[in-house]
Structure 1
Amino acid sequence: MSVQSNPFQRTTIIIMFAVGFAAFVLLLYGLGMGNRLASGNNGEAHGASNSSVGYKALANLLENTGIPVRYSRSKAGLEKAGLLVLTPRPNASAEDIDAIVQQRAYVGPTMIILPKWQVSKSQTLQKGWVVRGDVWGEEPGTEMLAELAEADLRIEDKIPAGQPMESAFGTTIKTPAMPVTIKGDFIRAIVREPSTQGALIAYLDDGGVYAQLDSLDESQIIDEEEIDESFYPVIIVADADLLNNAGMAEKQTARHALALIRAASLADGEDVTFDLTLNGLGSPENLLTLAFTPPFLSATICMVIAALAAAWMAFNRFGPPIAERRSIDFGKTALVNNSAAFINRMQRGYLVTDPYAEMIRTESAEAIGINPQADEQEIHTKLDALGESDGNRFSALFQQLVRAQKPQEIADGAAALHAWKKEIIG
C-alpha cells in the first residue's frame, strides 16, 4: 500500500483559497456599502420605488427620452450638477432640506416633491406594492418647508378630479384626486388650479431669474441688489400625483412631467439625480466605502490583483526549495570568520591589535632562530635587519598596528605586517 505524502490535492487548496478570498472581499464590500445595498423597491415614495406613490416610472420615462438618471445614496450625490429631486419622508427635517437647498444654490436646480398619500403594506401583495390610504394633510409639508419660505398648504377636497389647470408650459393638465395646493409670499405658480388660484407646482422666488418657469407667475423681486442671475431654481411639487407612478399612467400628465423636468434642468443632457438619503436608503462614508468607489476603486483592484499574483506564485514555486544555511558554519575558517564578524559588530577591533602583532613577531623570531624569550628591542633590531617590505621595516609596522584604533587602520596595519612576514620570512 502506498501512502500519499500530501493529504490535500493542489486543486482543492486552490478552490478553498479562491472561495475564502472572494468571501472576504464580499464581506468588506458589504460592510462598506451598508444600506446602499438595500433594495429601493420598498413601496415608499422615492425614485427607486415601483409602488403607486413612487417615482420609478418618471425615472424610466427620463431614461427612455435620453436624459441620464442617477440614484444617490450618499451626501456626495447632493453636490453633483444637474437637477436633484428630493422626495423626503413626512418626518423629514426642515433644517436638512434647507441645508441641501442652500448648498446647491450655485450648483444646480433642486426639486422638492412633498409627500401626499399615506400607504400601508400587506402580506397578500407582492414586494413593492402598497395599499394607498388617506392624504397626509397640510402639516408635514408646511413643517419641512418652514426654513425655506412661509408656505400655506391646503387639501382642496371639494374640487373634482379631471378639471383642467393652467401650466407655465402652455399646456393644460388635469386636476388629480384630492389636489394639494401651496401659496405663500415667495411662492410662484408653475401649475395653478383656477378656482382657488393655488399652485400644485411652484418655484421659490429667491432672487433668481427663471424665464423658463415664470410665464404663468413672474417673480415679484424687482430690486436689482436682490437679484442674482447665477441662482439655480428651487421647484416645489405640492401635489405628488403630477409626478408619481400613478400619475404617469395618464399620458397628458406624463408629457407635462417631462416638460417640467426639461425646464428645470436648464441644459440639455444634464443628469437627473433622485436622492434616496432622505428616505433612509443612504449610508455614511467610511474608509471601506471609499475603497470601493472611484477613484480609490482602481487602487483596490490593483491590491486584489497583487494578492492573487502573490498567491499564484506561492502555488507555483520556481525550482526546489533552497535549504536554509546554518547560522554558524563548521570548520576552523568558519570559526575565524564568525569570531571576526562578532568582534567587528561589537566594535572591539582595537583589542586584537596587540595579540596579533605579538603573534607575528613570535612566529618571525622562531623562523630565523631567535629565542622568543629574548629582549623585545633585540628581537626588533634583528627583524629590522632582515630587510624592508614596501619601504617599511618590521618595527615600524609593528608600532603602526599597535597604535591603530579605527577599523580601517587596524585592517591596513594587520595586512601590512602580514605582507612583511610573507615577503621577508616566507
Structure 2
Amino acid sequence: MSVQANPFQRTTIIIMFAVSFAAFIALLYGLGMGDRLASGKNGDAHGASNSIVGYRALASLLEKTGVPVQYSRSPAGMDNEGLMILTPGPFVPPEDIDAVIQQRSYIGPTMVILPKWQVARSDRLKKGWVVRNDPWDGTVGEALLQDVAKVSISVDGKAGSGQSLVSAVGAGVKTPEHPISIKGELLRTVVRGPLPGSALVAYLDDGGVYAQLDRLDESHITEKEEIDASLFPVVIVGDADLLNNAGMADKPTARHALALVKAVSIAADGGVTFDLTFNGLGGAENLLTLAFTPPFLSATICLITAALAAAWMAFNRFGPPVREQRSLDFGKTALVNNSAAFINRMQRGYLVTDPYAGMIRAQAAEAVGISPQADDKEILERLDELGESEGNRFSALFHQLVRARKPQDIAEGAAALHAWKKEIIGCRSTN
C-alpha cells in the first residue's frame, strides 16, 4: 500500500486559496463600505428609490437623455460639480441643510426637494414599494428650511388637480394632487402655485444672477454691490410630485422636470448628483473606505496583484522543500566542526596556532624517536635535519604558523606544517 507524500491535490490547494483570498478581500471591502452597500430600495423619497415617492424614474430619464447621474453616499460628494439634488427626510437637522447650501454656493447649483407624502410599508407589496398616505403638514418643510430662509408652506387640499400652472422654464405643468405651495420674502417663483403669490418651485434671491429662472419673478436685489455673478442658484421644490416617480408617469410633467433640471444646471459643469446621506444611506470615511476609492484604489489593486504573484510563485517553487539541518550535529567530527566554526565566528583563530604547532612537533618527534626530555630548540634542530618540504624546513614552518594572525595565514601555515609532516615523516616511515 503506497502512501502519498501530499494528502491534497495541487488544484484543490489553489482553489481553496483563491476562495479564501476572495472572501478576505470581500470582507475588507464590506467593512470599508459599511452602509454604502445598503440597498436604496427602502421605499423612502430619494434618488435611488423605486417607490411612488422616490426619484429613480427621474434619474433614469436623465441618464437616457445623456445627462451623467451619480449617487453620493458620503459628505465628500457635496463637493461634486454640477447639480446637487437634496431629498431630505422630514427629521433632518435644518443646520445640516443650510451648511450644504453655504458650502456649495460657489461649487454648483443645489436643488432641495421637500418631503411631501407620508408612507406606510406592507409585506404584500414588492420590495421597495410603499403605500402613500396623507401629505406632511407644512410645518415639516418650514422646519427643514428655517436656517436657509424664512418661508411659509401650505397644503391645498381643495385645489383641482390637472389644471395647468405657469412655469418659467417651459410649458405649463399640471397641478399635482394636494399641491404644496411655498412663500417667502427671499423666494422667487419658478412654477406658480394655485394660491395667489405662491409657488410650487422657487429659487433663493441671494444676490446671484439667474436669468434662466427669473422670467416670472425677477430678483429684488438691484444694488450692484449686492450682486454676485459667481453664485450658483438654490432651487426649492415645495411639491415633490413635480419630480418623483408618481409625477414621471405623466409625460408633460416628465418633460417639465427635464426642463427644470436643465435650467437650474445651465451654468454648471458636470452632471446631476443625488444625495443619499440625508436619507440614512451614507457611510463614514475610514482607512478601509479610502483603500477602495480612487486614487488609493490603484495602490490596493497593486498590492492584491503582488500578493497573488507571491502565492503563485510559492506554488511553483523549484524542487522539493529543503529540510532544515540541525544546528549541532552528533559525533566527534561534528564536535570538531562546530568548535572550529565557533572559533572562526569569534575571530579567535590565532589562539589555536601555538597548540596546533606544538602538537605537530610532538607527533613528529615521537615518530622519529627523539627523546621527550629534549628541549624545544633541540627538537626543532633535529627535525630540520630530516629535510625540507617545498624548500621549507620544519622550524621555519613552525614559527610561521605561531606568528600567524589572519584566518587565511593561519589556514595556510597549518596546511604547510601538516604537509611537511606527511611528506618527511611519512617517507621515513615507509623507508
TM-score, normalised to structure 1's length? Answer: 0.83
The answer (yes or no) to whether the contact 1:384–1:394 under 8 Å persists in 2 is no
369-378 vs 133-142, greater mean Cα deviation: 369-378
| Cα deviation 1:211-250 (Å, max 9, x = unaligned) | 2222322333334444332222221111111111111122
Cα distance in 1 for partners of 2:367, 2:211 equals 116
Bigger mean CA deviation after superposition, 225-234 or 39-48? 225-234
SS of residue paired to 2:236: strand
Higher mean C-alpha displacement, 380-389 vs 307-316: 380-389
Deviations 1:33-69 (A, max 9, x none): 2222222122110111111111111111101110011
Corresponding residue pairs, total: 417
Say if 2:87 and 2:114, in contact at 8 Å, map to a contact too: yes
| Cα distance between partner residues in 2 of 1:319 and 1:420 | 41
Q: Quote how far apart the aligned CAs of 1:325 are.
A: 3.6
Match of 1:255 in 2: 255
Pick closer, same or farther for the CA change 1:148–1:389 going to 2, 3 Å.
farther
Indicate how the Cα distance of structure 1 residues 362 and 416 shifts in structure 2: closer, same or farther if over 3 A, else same. farther
* 1:82 aligned onto 2:82: yes
Kept after mapping to 2: 8 A contact 1:394/1:417: yes
Q: Return 314-323 or 144-153, whichever deviates more.
A: 314-323
Amino acid at match of 2:242: L
Residues 172-220 of structure 1 deviation map (CA, whole Å, 9 limit, x = unaligned):
2222222222222322222122642112111222232222222322333
How many Å separate the matches in 1 of 2:55 and 2:33? Answer: 24
The answer for the alignment partner of 2:99 in structure 1 is 99
8 A contact 2:85–2:273 mirrored in 1? yes
Check whether the contact 1:207–1:228 (CA below 8 A) recurs between aligned residues.
Answer: yes
Q: CA deviation at 1:273?
A: 0.9
Moved more, 354-363 or 140-149: 354-363
Q: Which residue of 2 aligns with 1:216?
A: 216
Distance in 1, matches of 2:93 and 2:317, equals 61
In structure 2, relative to structure 1, the CA distance for the partners of 1:374 and 1:138 (3 Å cut) is farther
Deviates more, 1:130-139 or 1:17-26: 17-26
Q: Which secondary structure state, in structure 2, belongs to the residue aligned with residue 259 of structure 1?
A: helix
Match of 1:59 in 2: 59
Distance 1:379 1:128, change over 3 A: same
Matches within 5 A, 1:174-323: 174-193=174-193, 195-266=195-266, 270-316=270-316, 318-323=318-323
The corresponding residue for 1:338 is 338
What is aligned with 2:73? Answer: 73
- Whether the 8 Å contact between 2:82 and 2:268 is mirrored in structure 1 is no
CA contact 1:86–1:110 (8 Å) conserved in 2: yes
CA deviation profile, 1:318-364 (whole Å, cap 9, x unmatched): 44444444434567665443222222334544543543454466567
CA 1:314 to 1:396, structure 2 compared with 1: closer, same or farther past 3 Å?
closer
Q: Distance in 2 between matches of 1:155 and 1:353?
A: 110
Q: Cα offset for 1:278?
A: 0.9
In 1: Cα distance, 2:291 partner to 2:106 partner: 30
Distance (whole Å) between structure 2 residues aligned to residue 287 and residue 88 of structure 1: 28
Instruction: Quote the residue 2:167 is aligned against.
Output: 167
Partner of 2:410: 414
Match in the other structure for 1:405: none
Residues 339 and 168 of structure 1, relative CA distance in 2, 3 Å threshold: same
- Percent identical pairs in the alignment equals 63
Contact 2:115 2:141 in 1 (8 A): yes
Check conservation: 2:349, 2:407, Cα contact below 8 A.
no
Contact 1:262 1:268 in 2 (8 A): no
The letter of the residue matching 1:178 is H
Report matched runs for 1:6-155 at 5 Å.
Answer: 8-155=8-155
CA separation in 2, counterparts of 1:334 and 1:4?
Answer: 34
Instruction: Describe the shift of the 1:268–1:210 C-alpha distance in structure 2 as closer, same or farther (beyond 3 A).
Output: closer
The Cα of 1:298 is off from its aligned counterpart by 3.4
Specify the SS of the correspondent of 1:290.
Answer: helix
Distance 2:39 2:174 in 1: 33
- Mapped partners of 2:374, 2:281: distance in 1: 100
TM-score, L = length of structure 2: 0.83
For 1:212 and 1:238, locate their aligned partners in 2 and report how far apart those are by CA, in whole Å. 19
- When residues 56 and 370 of structure 1 are mapped into structure 2, their CA distance, relative to the original with a 3 A threshold, is same
**Residues 79 and 107, structure 2, Cα contact 8 Å, conserved in 1:** yes
CA distance in 1, matches of 2:313, 2:383: 64
More displaced stretch, 376-385 vs 66-75: 376-385
Q: Is the 8 A contact 2:209 2:231 kept in 1?
A: yes
**3-state DSSP class of the match of 2:166?**
strand
Superposed CA RMSD in Å reads 3.4
Which SS does the other structure have where 1:283 is aligned? coil
Query: 2 CA distance for matches of 1:394 and 1:133?
Result: 113
AA aligned to 1:297 is L
